[in-house]
Structure 1
Amino acid sequence: MQPLSERRNILITGASSGLGEQMAREFAARGRNLALCARRTDRLQALRAELLAARPGITVAVRALDVNDHPAVFETFRALAGDLGGRLDRVIVNAGLGKGRPIGTGGFRANLQTAETNFTAALAQCEAAMEHFREHRSGHLVVISSVSALRGLPRSSTTYAATKAGLSALAEGIRAEMLATGTPVRVSAVHPGYIATDLSERAARTPLMVPLEKGVRSMVRAIERERADARVPAWPWVPLGFLLRRMPLRLVARLA
């Protein structure tokens, strides 16, 4: 298995804003080469210029990608691998959507868009990443889930939480496959709590919200440790996650 210190080439989807953009900054500061993709190429190009100005010794490749265009996911991952010398060491499946409406209230289109982006498109990204890792018999697949995956949630969070639960289960299944076959590929599911991004505007008033830089720094530390399951920031989400999994659903419904 490839030593952790050699995870030099990192691909991040949804890198034009929020968690993906800040993860790119954190990994660039650690001297990693980056393959960044998102729909908004103008923002990717601006981010690339910023990162190279700060760390001129690294390589930063950017390409447009709508993760709901499934054939393009495979094509773009292969192209970005080529941009970084033919090898990806870590793929972070980060692109996601936070739309949602209570089930049965006429919001099916918004819920469908969330389900397609957060799970089906994530499946395509995992497939493309694992094809590459199986070929090279090394790599680290990371999926960005959410603490929302720990329980079914009411109101506009129902579909979002369900997609993140599915994504966490997908990561665990891939990890089980790697263990069963003895394939030396690591698989991690990262479950962020409330981190200030555009997607978290609705929860902005919660006292549990942490600034983007602090939250992503904790995410990157967990990713670098290649933990199978990480809830971040560890305080308060490790103990809160333990409680959330065990409290009565009626109480969960009041908290959500």
Structure 2
Amino acid sequence: MTVRKNVLITGASSGLGEAMARKHAARGSDLALCARRADRLETLKAELTAVHPGIRIEVHTLDVNDHDQVFRVFRSCRGTLGTLDRVVVNAGVGHGSPVGTGGFPANARILQTNLVAALAQCEAAVEIFRDQGSGHLVVISSMSAMRGLPHLTAYGASKAGVATLAEGIRASLLGTPIKVTTLFPGYIESEMTTTGNEPTPMMVSTEKGVTSMMKAIEAERAQAKVPAWPWIPMGFVMRHAPLRIVAKS
């Protein structure tokens, strides 16, 4: 297993990004944590530094929809840490509305943040990796990318797009020391998935979900549905079941 010492994570102020930061810190990685909410990043930095005093943690206020800022921040992190060994493209937004129901502004924002801004992050990261001659790009997609869903149409489209983006990057880097991992999380407890009082079927705890994600990340797998159970068989069902059945799920 390749040791990835310096790790940059976007969307690190909450949810899966924050949980991945905790896991990387526990493994001794130096971190560059990026998000819009600077106060939450500073709180997380203070907590992780107290628990893991041997690691270095930088925090950067970053709006991934400011593409020029993405390139500036990534290059700055590389400059101060010396290298960027792993970049986790995690920042994103969810929800949205069925198409044609008046939700265009929210749906457009989802595609802008989850796909176009992800492209900016991938461009900035891979530019650095190509210059270094090594690196590990991790892109967070979603099981919602498997099929078009009526209640997650824009979100699923954005996550399918980002998965295809990551695969294209992987194809262009075959045979090089630069690795690309695409993760397809199922229902994992986080601020994004906690939207009401009704329990979500097949939802797993943040700890279980992120432990599964980290296992795939550290193995530098090309793709992984996480957690494997039930999402590997569910992925098959989602891909091959008639649309009328998938649409009711």
Residue 89, structure 1, aligned to residue 85, structure 2: yes
Identical-residue share of aligned pairs (%): 62
Q: Distance in 2 between matches of 1:137 and 1:46?
A: 34
Residue 136, structure 1, aligned to residue 142, structure 2: no
Provide the residue aligned with 2:121 in structure 1: 125
Q: Distance in 2 between matches of 1:254 and 1:205?
A: 17
Matched AA of 2:134: S
Which sits farther off after the overlay, 212-221 or 127-136? 212-221
Provide the residue aligned with 1:234 in structure 2: 228
Q: Distance in 2 between matches of 1:142 and 1:150?
A: 18
The 5 A counterparts of 1:36-115 are 36-84=33-81, 86-115=82-111
Matched AA of 1:45: E
CA drift of 1:5 comes to 3.3
Q: Is 1:152–1:161's contact at 8 Å kept on the other side of the alignment?
A: yes
Matched AA of 2:130: R
Provide the residue aligned with 2:176 in structure 1: 183
Q: Which deviations, in whole Å up to 9, do the C-alpha atoms of 1:222-242 show, x marking residues without a partner?
A: 100111110000111111111
Provide the residue aligned with 1:14 in structure 2: 11
Q: Which deviations, in whole Å up to 9, do the C-alpha atoms of 1:141-187 show, x marking residues without a partner?
A: 000000001111112x00000000000000000011112xx332101
Q: Is 1:73–1:128's contact at 8 Å kept on the other side of the alignment?
A: yes
Provide the residue aligned with 1:224 in structure 2: 218
Which sits farther off after the overlay, 235-244 or 126-135? 235-244
Residue 251, structure 1, aligned to residue 245, structure 2: yes
Q: Is 1:134–1:183's contact at 8 Å kept on the other side of the alignment?
A: no
CA drift of 1:207 comes to 2.6
SS of 2:193's equivalent in the other structure is helix
Provide the residue aligned with 1:194 in structure 2: 187
From 160, 165, 189, the counterpart of 2:160: 165
CA drift of 1:80 comes to 1.2
- Tell me, which stretches of 5 or more residues in structure 1 are unaligned? none
SS of 2:100's equivalent in the other structure is coil
Q: Which deviations, in whole Å up to 9, do the C-alpha atoms of 1:90-118 show, x marking residues without a partner?
A: 00000000030110111100001101000
Q: Distance in 2 between matches of 1:82 and 1:56?
A: 22
Q: Distance in 1 between matches of 2:157 and 2:80?
A: 35
- TM-score w.r.t. the length of structure 2 is 0.97
Q: Distance in 1 between matches of 2:136 and 2:97?
A: 34
Q: Is 1:11–1:90's contact at 8 Å kept on the other side of the alignment?
A: yes
Residue 209, structure 1, aligned to residue 203, structure 2: yes
Q: Distance in 2 between matches of 1:229 and 1:6?
A: 19
Q: Distance in 2 between matches of 1:211 and 1:50?
A: 21
Runs of 4+ in 1 over 4 A off after TM superposition: none
- TM-score w.r.t. the length of structure 1 is 0.95
Matched AA of 1:34: L
Matched AA of 1:213: E
Q: Is 1:99–1:113's contact at 8 Å kept on the other side of the alignment?
A: no
CA drift of 1:83 comes to 2.4
